[in-house]
Structure 1
Amino acid sequence: MLLPRIIPVLLHTKEGLIKTENFSNPKYIGDPLNAVRIFNEKKVDELIFLDIEASKLKREPHYELIKKIASECNMPLTYGGGINSVSQIENIIKLGVEKISINSSAISTPELITQAADRFGRQSIVVTIDIKLSGLFRKSYKIFDHKTKTTSNIELLTHLKKIQELGAGEIVINSFDKDGTMLGYDYNLIDYIKPSIKVPLTALGGASKLSDMTNLFKKYGLIGAAAGSIFVFKGKYRAVLIQYPSNKEKKLLYSLPYFIS
């Protein structure tokens, strides 16, 4: 049985680590290696590291940085950003990364999911989907392309079914509308997609307190609660402070009844 995972997500650009709100207004967080060292000390369950510029700028993953991050990590590491070929995935896994996150390429070249899953195993392939609530009068959930800042015409549930059939071993749903807001996860989105998910599912976007994660684990049966702001900001003025729940806090979290606030 897989245990629930509380997963910090680090966003990287050429400027260093940043945190966004609704995929914009980046705030500088600091040096990625320093952040990883602190998370090591706090014994995090898993870490997701995303280069959010690589695909947009059509450049290769920053292999030297990935190597440094992987060598520092004492926890399972997922890397995403600029992934569009099996050879890239092979290079990154050789550097010590456990899982690869595919996002844009899952839409543009979905066959990459199958090629990668066949080569490295489904458990190594994560598909991350950015999702936005869109529409003037009748709003619906749409796949959001962070490169073009537009929504896709591909129907979300159809896409979810397809990527699982192609070999995705895990799915991360990232809410555009909740990103960086610290207003709680988008539970309506989870209600909408959960019946279509047959693989481990992680939610990202909106966590404001640890009890938000209890809802994901106990009410929805998700395997992962991912977050950014709650692990890098402190207080109402959002001072930068890297933090993570202690083992005692996590045990309490797992024992709480769920609730929807």
Structure 2
Amino acid sequence: MSISYLNGEYQPLSEARISPLDRGFLFGDGIYEVIPYYNGKSVGLMPHIERMINGLAAIEIKCTKTADEWKALLDDLVARNSDLAANLGVYVHISRGTDVKRYHAYPENVEPTVFAFTFPIKDPEPVDRAKVTQYSMISTEDLRWQRCHIKSTALLGNVIHFQEGYSSGNDEALLYNADGELTEGSSCNAFIVKDGVVITPIQDNQILPGITRRIILDSLRADGSLKVEERVVTMDEVRNADELWITSSSKEIAPVTQLDGKPVGNGEVGEVWEKAFQIYTDTKYDF
């Protein structure tokens, strides 16, 4: 049975309960993270925790746990659930807490609600162009809020965009701003490849500071065999790219071979994807 953590207590996930007056329930007033563990080894655990702490500070939720305390808690939760599966994702969610009334302003003297649970995740994809899962996407204007750099639990905008892709028989939705510039996917970051160069939008308020994105950029730059650029990417560039990737903790680096019903590049998984994914795979546990 899956064991969860809620406000200092470990208990079966089916027994975990919060108040309907919790601000996470009423307003989506909270921060979350999803962290993969493969055979007990985490990928990007401390960067995930760092991003979570930064997000809590950005929305003024006062949570006193240190990075090391978070690490100990999450490692312990994974150990308690090791019988579920070899590979586990950890979802951790901190809301502002439970007040005695529904009121928009931040309440005072309220303890945050801290909740975490694990769930099985699939094995990593093979570093093999012929065997990796290929993705298809639609493109649509990004209509979410303007603080996408905060990993908020208020994900309705993302959910609506994801549903656009899902309802049209695709795997995801690729988003662009009012100026026709690539932002990200509804639940992932995005990269293109052109003439062997790996390119991704700059980190600003329009995109989430993805941990997988960060690991990819750091590992490719350290390796040095592929040129990397962070800059504005237009949708014209996306539509004329040789390769398109989406990245997240659950997808790692996923090749997209179809966009809006048309092939990306030659419609096959690219050689640069395979090289980049090998570099990422060789180094992902170092973060």
More helix by share: 1
